[in-house]
């Protein structure tokens, strides 16, 4: 049976060694140890890692994956399917809810744009000018699950692409500041920008559920606030630049 050091498993799987260590700490991917203390993995661990990666791409929490691994260890596929099916069904409901929220927010923005595209009053703003929409809308806020671990499910090219998208977005901000809970970016209003941010934020929460996004619309700008646990400061710096 083949054995792999952690660096070899990372290279073979595309999963960073830091993530492999995290999986071990979380009780998902146990490793044997050599006499000198080095981690070693066998082919069963490679197969187990592939299952973990697949489950994380479905948006499953670590405790759910751990439970699935215990069921899988019994060697009965039907049991794994019976446990996995309701979890996937639940994720579909969550995703559909987010899509509905985003669609409603996009419709709200379209209405504001329509109001702002009409003729302006001759003098100062008035209650009907459209500059102060009734009930300031906010991007729907989906709270991270309690005790959600700081670990991204993306790796390799997908992670690089997502990071590039956020970095490109950050360069369009005319103001960026650190807050006690994360980072806040302000953008001049542009057609399609809010929908673009909303799509990117929704995609990011699928792989990094510990991040929380709020998009606030004012008559003169869009404000994106990203909240994260303190131990995710490095991830925020990777996505948006700046000092951790």
Element (H, E) at 2: none
Chain segment 16-61, per-residue pLDDT in tens: 888 888 888 888 898 899 888 889 999 888 999 999 988 888 888 8
**Cα separation of 207 and 56, whole Å?**
8
Give the residue among 25, 73, 67 at the shortest CA–CA distance from 48.
73
Chain segment 90-105, per-residue pLDDT in tens: 888 877 877 777 788 7
Burial of 226 (0-12, 13-18, 19+ CB in 10 A): buried
Give the residue among 197, 183, 177, 162 at the shortest CA–CA distance from 234.
183
Burial of 179 (0-12, 13-18, 19+ CB in 10 A): exposed
Contact criterion met (CB below 8 Å) for 145 and 61? yes
The chain-wide mean pLDDT, for the chain, equals 82
- Give the contacts of 112 (CB within 8 A, at least 6 positions apart): 130, 133, 217
Chain segment 226-243, per-residue pLDDT in tens: 988 877 777 788 788 755
Residue 75 pLDDT class (50, 70, 90 cuts)? very high
């Amino acid at each position: 049976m083949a054995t792999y050091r952690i660096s070899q498993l990372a290279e073979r799987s595309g999963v960073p060694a830091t993530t492999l260590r995290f999986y071990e700490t979380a009780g998902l991917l146990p490793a044997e140890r050599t006499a000198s203390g080095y981690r070693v993995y066998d082919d069963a661990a490679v197969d187990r890692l592939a299952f973990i990666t697949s489950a994380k791409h479905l948006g499953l929490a670590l405790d759910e994956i751990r439970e699935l691994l215990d069921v899988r260890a019994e060697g009965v596929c039907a049991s794994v399917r019976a446990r996995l099916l309701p979890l996937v069904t639940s994720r579909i409901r969550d995703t559909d809810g987010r899509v509905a929220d985003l669609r409603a927010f996009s419709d709200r923005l379209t209405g504001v744009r329509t109001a702002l595209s009409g003729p302006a009053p001759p003098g100062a703003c008035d209650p009907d000018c459209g500059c102060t929409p009734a009930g300031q809308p906010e991007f729907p806020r989906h709270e991270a699950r309690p005790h959600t671990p700081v670990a991204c499910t993306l790796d390799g090219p997908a992670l690089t692409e997502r990071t590039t998208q956020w970095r490109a977005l950050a360069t369009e901000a005319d103001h960026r500041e650190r807050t006690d809970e994360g980072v806040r970016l302000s953008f001049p209003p542009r057609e399609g920008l809010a929908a673009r941010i909303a799509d990117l934020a929704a995609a990011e929460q699928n792989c990094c559920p510990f991040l929380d996004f709020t998009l606030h619309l004012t008559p003169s700008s869009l404000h994106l606030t990203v909240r994260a646990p303190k131990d995710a400061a490095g991830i925020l710096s990777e996505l948006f630049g700046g000092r951790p």
